[in-house]
Amino acid sequence: MESIKCVLRNSEEIAYVLTTQSFPGKVKLKSDFKSCYLCIVRNKDFSYEQALFIVRAKSMFRKPKILILFPLTLELHIDQKENVFSIAWGDIENPMCEFIASNEAINIVTTILNDYPRYQQEPFHLECSHHKWVWFYQETIPVALHSPCSVANRPRSLLIDHYGKRAMEAYVSTQIQGKQEEFTTSHNFTVAILTWNAGGYFPGSSKLREWFLCQNKKYIDPIDAPDIIVIGLQEMCELTKLRGDLIREQEWVKYFNSEILENFSPDTYENICQGSLVGILSTILIKRAISPLIKDISTFQVKLGLKGFAGNKGALAHRFRILSSSFCFINVHLAPHKQNFKLRNENINTISKTIKFTLPCGDSYSIFEHDHVFWFGDLNYRLNNISTRNIIKYITNNDIQYCLENDQLRTAMKTLNILRDFHEGEIDFLPTFKYLIGSNQHNLRREPAWCDRVLWKGPAILNRYSSCDSIQVSDHKPVFSHFSLRVLKLDPSKLSELKCKIYKELEDMHHKFMPKISISKEKIIFEEIRYRFIYKDTFEITNIGTSQLILELMSDKWVSCSPVKCDLSQQETVEVSVQVSIDIDFLRKHRAKYVSLTNIIRIIVKNGIEYNVGLQTNVLDSFIGYSCEEICKMYPSVSFPNLPKPLIRIAEFLKNYNGNIRDLFEIKLDPLSIAHTIMLIDCDIKFDENVNGQSIIHVLLEFLRTLKKPILDGDIVDTKINMMHIIGFSLVKHQVFDLMSQANIECLMFVVDILKRLIGMNNGITAGYLANKMYKVIFQVKEIPYDKKKNRVLFLELLFST
């Protein structure tokens, strides 16, 4: 199974995610989310698994969110269907939760994940005070596992490199956002946003003083010279000129410069950027005293007319940075007419998705990656469910709020997530459209509406927001707004100090809440261990942390622990039983080292660190597991130089045995009794009362079963026995022995002599019985074809009976 199992997307809106008792409960995804991306991640040793839901909003104006549920304990099933993947939790026939993901959806997930560092002001959420999830991503998500995904292959990892590191950075960035006062100094700035659909009118020598000074009957006093003046025009020229009017643009800019100089003298301004898109014109003026602070200026335009091919409708966006604060200004002219409500919403989404400012250094920014965003212009939203006559009646009676309850823009922002997180000031001025030119009377051929608006996003304070009724040269009224905001200056050294402090706090918190245990023994010592014996010891584990923990014990196969897994509440203790027993493979591997053997028991604490308990022991050798040549040299007999002493001791015991011979093979024996008998033979100690015929026979069987090579080669017997009906058993036996080592022949014939003594009518033991009982250990086989078994048993039967 891959370290990262899958990254899949739901094809429809998900209303609920059903969870089990190991999850935080039932989770409801709000209706304003349109899709959910699911990541299932595991760490390298598969001891930790986690489900990560990346929830994307319907609107570009709603930041994506992440919902993390862990641990994931239910079985996850992935089933490939035609052109889609189905993933389900729990029972595959009746899943608790199922997602359907198309290949197209899978292919776009990489892009979504790559965008996540952009949303560092609202990173990943978990109702957990110690933020273990941050460290999980930082430490355990592999950064090298990623490959292209196709329908034909089960998806592996689509996560980007260093995603864990980015998650950590996103968390730290969030903490920094709330502590800006520790590493920044602020400067108070004022910004004036002026927007007007001029309807092709050019003022010439006429004055627009009230508009520039943000004055009307409500705001009698003029504003002081703002630090930033942003002027946005729509229909600065006749829209019949589909490529715009450069001469008219220059005339407007010259007019603005003249009016600004006249109205705000002695302050002088510098035009830092301007641009036009057919009838849309934007000009941004900055006080000359602060213009040297302007950096990273960039412009972007979006055409919306004729499905994006013409600029009679569209957006003109500018961005720049002052000190450490970034600004974005979007001047828009959207689709007209009341019935085009959906089209205007689409216009806004298109603008939001399309605008991408690219700087010379290669960095790029979307609209939402700025500290202050201002969206203004002729948005062209109208009023629903009210006739023209009733609109006139309500506004005449100063009942503006009733009309605004039916305002299309407010409806879109409230119910459709259009311009989500943007703000608009209180509207207490008359509709800005549509007027008879030269008067303040509404043109009854069109329903009055607040088409011209100013919205903002960010920590700005609105001081003024209204329109200029006295300007009557267009069918729209000019709209002004005035803001106060703070521009931040960053101190790099203090920021670095704060980052170090946050990382230190996070590390301390991580350490504080990390599961911790105490272990009663650092090391378990077994002075000696022998073949087939079982050695036991115990130690205790106590949860000394602040929360419940789950742990698992892992060790080599010759060491067993009980329990292997357990849950411990705070201050709870569990006693662990350790059992050591070595088999023939272990004995052969370690018998020649003649040194103290060390090993460890690994205690893996989920979400915590790994602990070790040491094991130390000495492995004592045994006659079991050698070849016939080796055992004859290592355990020589004085009376029988060509035979090993252990075999002679077995023969001597059976020679004097008077019990039921059949019981020797039929009765099952305690393994410890066999181990005890082997130990006495190894140490050349006299047999005690615990040794009996059954234990001796089973030691003989163990000796034959564990020889490095079978005492009698079955393949040789298979090739020679077919000639027995021609040449007889005696010649066949000699031919077989000619191909065997002398040590094997001597040991085999001695074993045969031992077993021959057991044959007798009184004992109920026949040569055939012995052959059937002994063929598996003599030939060292478990199961063989019937023909081979028949021939080999026959050979042994004749060997025992002649």
pLDDT in tens, 385-394: 999 999 999 9
In the beta sheet, which residues pair with residue 551? 566, 605
Rounded-to-integer distance, Cα 175 and Cα 424, Å: 28
Peptide bond into 338 cis (omega under 30): no
CA distances from residue 603 to 327, 572, 756 in whole angstroms, order as listed: 54, 16, 54
Q: Which carries the bigger pLDDT value, residue 497 or residue 167?
A: 497
Percent of the chain with pLDDT over 90: 56
Peptide bond into 71 cis (omega under 30): yes
Confidence of residue 103 (pLDDT cuts 50, 70, 90): very low
User: Using the 8-state DSSP alphabet, how is residue 711 labeled?
Assistant: S
In the beta sheet, which residues pair with residue 39? 7, 52
Q: Which carries the bigger pLDDT value, residue 432 or residue 104?
A: 432
Rounded-to-integer distance, Cα 769 and Cα 758, Å: 11
The pLDDT score that the predictor gives to residue 204 is 83
Average pLDDT over residues 396-405: 92
Tokens of 235: 């229909």
Tokens 């998900």 -> residue = 14
**Residue 780, number of CB atoms within 10 A of its CB:** 17
Q: Which of 143-157, 455-469, 545-559, 773-787 has the lowest mean pLDDT?
A: 143-157
Distance of CA 434 to the CA centre of its chain: 54
pLDDT in tens, 651-692: 999 888 877 777 788 888 888 999 999 999 999 999 999 999
pLDDT in tens, 34-73: 444 444 444 333 333 444 444 444 455 544 444 433 333 3
Average pLDDT over residues 626-631: 94
Position 118 pLDDT exceeds 90: no
Position 170 pLDDT exceeds 70: no
Tokens 């997930």 -> residue = 109
Confidence of residue 128 (pLDDT cuts 50, 70, 90): very low
pLDDT in tens, 279-295: 999 999 999 999 999 99
Q: Which carries the bigger pLDDT value, residue 190 or residue 71?
A: 190
User: Using the 8-state DSSP alphabet, how is residue 446 labeled?
Assistant: S
Position 747 pLDDT exceeds 80: yes
Position 476 pLDDT exceeds 90: yes
What backbone torsions phi and psi does residue 550 show, to the nearest 5 degrees?
A: -120, 130
Confidence of residue 171 (pLDDT cuts 50, 70, 90): low
Confidence of residue 17 (pLDDT cuts 50, 70, 90): very low
Average pLDDT over residues 490-518: 86
- Please state whether 514 falls in left (phi above 0), alpha (psi between -120 and 50) or beta: beta
Closest Cα partner for 20 from 90, 91, 78, 76?
90
Q: Which of 96-110, 192-206, 502-516, 783-797 has the lowest mean pLDDT?
A: 96-110
Residue type, 732: V
First and final C-alpha spacing in the chain:
60
Q: Classify residue 713 as exposed, middle or buried by CB count within 10 Å of its CB (0-12, 13-18, 19+).
A: middle
Residue type, 156: R
Query: Hey, what domains does the chain have and what are their CATH numbers?
Result: 4-177 (no CATH), 186-382+450-489 (3.60.10.10), 517-619 (2.60.40.10), 628-801 (1.10.555.10)
Peptide bond into 431 cis (omega under 30): no
Tokens of 636: 């020589």
Please check whether residue 53 is in contact with residue 40, taking contact to mean a CB–CB distance below 8 angstroms: no
pLDDT in tens, 345-372: 999 999 998 999 999 988 888 898 899 9
Tokens 């009724």 -> residue = 469
In sign, the C-alpha dihedral spanning 658, 660, 666, 671 is negative
The pLDDT score that the predictor gives to residue 161 is 33
Position 119 pLDDT exceeds 70: no
Distance of CA 423 to the CA centre of its chain: 35
Q: Which carries the bigger pLDDT value, residue 68 or residue 98?
A: 98
pLDDT in tens, 571-600: 999 999 999 999 998 888 888 665 678 889
Tokens of 615: 């094991």
Average pLDDT over residues 339-350: 94
The pLDDT score that the predictor gives to residue 639 is 83
Characterize the bridge pairing of strands 573-580 and 535-543. Answer: antiparallel
In the beta sheet, which residues pair with residue 87? 78, 99
Please check whether residue 118 is in contact with residue 169, taking contact to mean a CB–CB distance below 8 angstroms: no
Q: Which carries the bigger pLDDT value, residue 561 or residue 265?
A: 561
Please check whether residue 142 is in contact with residue 162, taking contact to mean a CB–CB distance below 8 angstroms: no
**DSSP secondary structure letters along 369-396:** SSSEEEEEEE----BSS--HHHHHHHHH
Position 26 pLDDT exceeds 80: no
- Per-residue 3-state assignment (H helix, E strand, C coil) for 730-770: HHHHHHHHHCCCHHHHHHHHHHHHHHHCCCECCCCECHHHH
Average pLDDT over residues 164-193: 79
Tokens of 71: 């641990």
Tokens of 106: 């899978």
Query: CA-CA-CA-CA torsion for 119, 125, 128, 134, nearest 10 degrees?
Result: -50
Rounded-to-integer distance, Cα 17 and Cα 679, Å: 62
Please check whether residue 700 is in contact with residue 748, taking contact to mean a CB–CB distance below 8 angstroms: no
Rounded-to-integer distance, Cα 122 and Cα 120, Å: 5
What is the Cβ-side half-sphere exposure of residue 133, based on CA atoms within 13 angstroms?
20
What backbone torsions phi and psi does residue 345 show, to the nearest 5 degrees?
A: -60, -40
Position 461 pLDDT exceeds 80: yes
Please check whether residue 226 is in contact with residue 528, taking contact to mean a CB–CB distance below 8 angstroms: no
Percent of the chain with pLDDT over 70: 76
Compute the mean pLDDT over every residue in the chain, rounded to the nearest whole number.
Answer: 80
Radius of gyration of the chain (CA): 44
Rounded-to-integer distance, Cα 359 and Cα 211, Å: 33
Confidence of residue 94 (pLDDT cuts 50, 70, 90): low
Closest Cα partner for 335 from 391, 282, 409?
409
Position 700 pLDDT exceeds 90: yes
Residues 6+ apart with CB under 8 A from 416: 58, 59, 345
Confidence of residue 650 (pLDDT cuts 50, 70, 90): very high
Position 775 pLDDT exceeds 80: yes
The pLDDT score that the predictor gives to residue 59 is 52
Rounded-to-integer distance, Cα 484 and Cα 388, Å: 37
The pLDDT score that the predictor gives to residue 445 is 85
Rounded-to-integer distance, Cα 562 and Cα 377, Å: 73
Give the range with max mean pLDDT: 157-166, 589-598, 605-614, 787-796: 787-796
CA distances from residue 431 to 232, 405, 468 in whole angstroms, order as listed: 19, 13, 11
The pLDDT score that the predictor gives to residue 796 is 94
What backbone torsions phi and psi does residue 100 show, to the nearest 5 degrees?
A: -115, 130
Residues 6+ apart with CB under 8 A from 517: 541, 542, 543, 544, 545, 549, 551, 568, 603, 605, 608, 611
Characterize the bridge pairing of strands 372-378 and 452-457. Answer: antiparallel
Confidence of residue 111 (pLDDT cuts 50, 70, 90): very low
Q: Which of 226-230, 406-410, 507-511, 546-550 has the lowest mean pLDDT?
A: 507-511
Query: CA-CA-CA-CA torsion for 640, 644, 649, 652, nearest 10 degrees?
Result: -40
CA distances from residue 448 to 337, 537, 719 in whole angstroms, order as listed: 11, 90, 109
